[in-house]
Structure 1
Amino acid sequence: MKFNKTKCRVLHLGRGNSKRRYGLGSDWLESSPEEKDLGGLVDERLNVSRQRALAAQKANRSLGCIGRSVASRAREVILPLYSTLVRPHPESCVQFWSPYYERDMDVLERGQRRAMRMIRGLEHLSYGDRLRELGLFSLEKRRLRGDLIVAYQDLKGGYRKAGEGLFRMSGSGRTRGNGLKLELGRFRRGVRKFFIVKVVRHWNRLPREVVEAPSLEGFKARLDGALSNLI
């Protein structure tokens, strides 16, 4: 296999990295402060804040095009356009760069706030009331919904072929709550720990009828009903 040397870069990771030079054949490779991999932009400190800013920027551009091109402000027109052309930007590969700082969450949420303000007849409502009127979730709730669905699938054995399950059932025997509580363990990988800590806290607060749903579709339907009071 022949590599295009002009497209190869070296990304030095870690604070104590000696930043050695690497070559490919007889040519030295240039170093880069950030690179995109599988749709996600990561810098040498493994910081993905720039990826979030780019996602918000793309969403705002798409929303601006809709505002300039579409005369109607009816919900039947704006909602499908928003769901198809705008919302995929802040949700693309979000499992990898999911925000955990309030400032990053707010940057992503602004696009949906702006879209909701475009719909005629909801000007007098707050952002939360607009979402309830339209039957939508905030982007933060949508990310949490996806994480909880992953937890349900893992507990049902959906990911066992790829290795050990992500979650473990608690053996405390406590009967308060949903009866299927998860426990926190010790993990070597920081990203894995962050994801599990975040999901376990919300999973243990779900009602019993949600976590004991017999099927994935049933779990999604019951989860949607519980999410309105979860955050």
Structure 2
Amino acid sequence: MKINQAKCRVLHQGWGNPKHKYRLGGEWLVRSPEEKDLGVLADEKLNMTQQCALAAQKANFILGCIERSVASRSREMNLPLYSTPVRPHLEYCIRLWALQRKKDMELLEQAQRRDTKISEGWSTSPMRTG
């Protein structure tokens, strides 16, 4: 099997890394400041701020889509409808992220609060018309 050189990149990590240039075959590999692997975005310093922002953005997008498209307000139906597609985005590889910054935790918690607020609101508000 041949290696696709166009897809190969170098991600230098660590403080004392001399950041050497590498070749694959006869071509130099491109240096990348961040890479995504298995759905987790990591940069040179293993900073997960961008990953948290993307997870919260995706969760908020899904919540917005569900909120706009679901007409039923029954709690029994909507609670799993919200929790099932949203929670995996917020919890995927959470152990790897090791949320070190308070603002990252608050960003994810804000999306979780929105999910909880919307799903709890289904049981108290009247049916949607139109």
Q: In the alignment, what sits opposite 1:35?
A: 35
Q: In the alignment, what sits opposite 1:73?
A: 73
Matches within 5 A, 1:166-185: none
Matches within 5 A, 1:92-107: 92-107=92-107
Matches within 5 A, 1:42-121: 42-118=42-118, 119-121=121-123
Amino acid at match of 1:120: W
In structure 2, what is the Cα distance between the partners aligned to 1:120 and 1:64?
Answer: 14
**Contact 2:83/2:115 (8 A) holds in 1:** no
In structure 1, what is the Cα distance between the partners aligned to 2:83 and 2:114?
Answer: 13
Long gaps (5+) in structure 2: 126-130
Secondary structure of the structure 2 residue equivalent to 1:87: helix
**Contact 2:12/2:44 (8 A) holds in 1:** yes
In structure 2, what is the Cα distance between the partners aligned to 1:54 and 1:45?
Answer: 18
Q: In the alignment, what sits opposite 1:210?
A: none
Q: In the alignment, what sits opposite 1:17?
A: 17
Amino acid at match of 1:78: N
Secondary structure of the structure 2 residue equivalent to 1:42: strand
Cα deviation, residue 122, structure 1: 5.4
In structure 2, what is the Cα distance between the partners aligned to 1:16 and 1:69?
Answer: 51
**Contact 2:78/2:122 (8 A) holds in 1:** no
Superposition TM-score, scaled by structure 1 size: 0.50
Cα deviation, residue 25, structure 1: 0.4
Secondary structure of the structure 1 residue equivalent to 2:122: coil
- Cα-Cα RMSD: 1.7
Q: In the alignment, what sits opposite 1:213?
A: none
Secondary structure of the structure 2 residue equivalent to 1:36: strand
Q: In the alignment, what sits opposite 1:221?
A: none
Superposition TM-score, scaled by structure 2 size: 0.85
**Contact 2:52/2:108 (8 A) holds in 1:** yes
In structure 2, what is the Cα distance between the partners aligned to 1:42 and 1:114?
Answer: 26
Query: Taking CA–CA contacts closer than 8 Å with sequence separation of 6 or more, which of the two structures ends up with the larger relative contact order?
Result: 2
In structure 2, what is the Cα distance between the partners aligned to 1:76 and 1:22?
Answer: 56
Cα deviation, residue 15, structure 1: 2.2
In structure 2, what is the Cα distance between the partners aligned to 1:77 and 1:64?
Answer: 17
Matches within 5 A, 1:180-219: none
Q: In the alignment, what sits opposite 1:163?
A: none
Q: In the alignment, what sits opposite 2:7?
A: 7
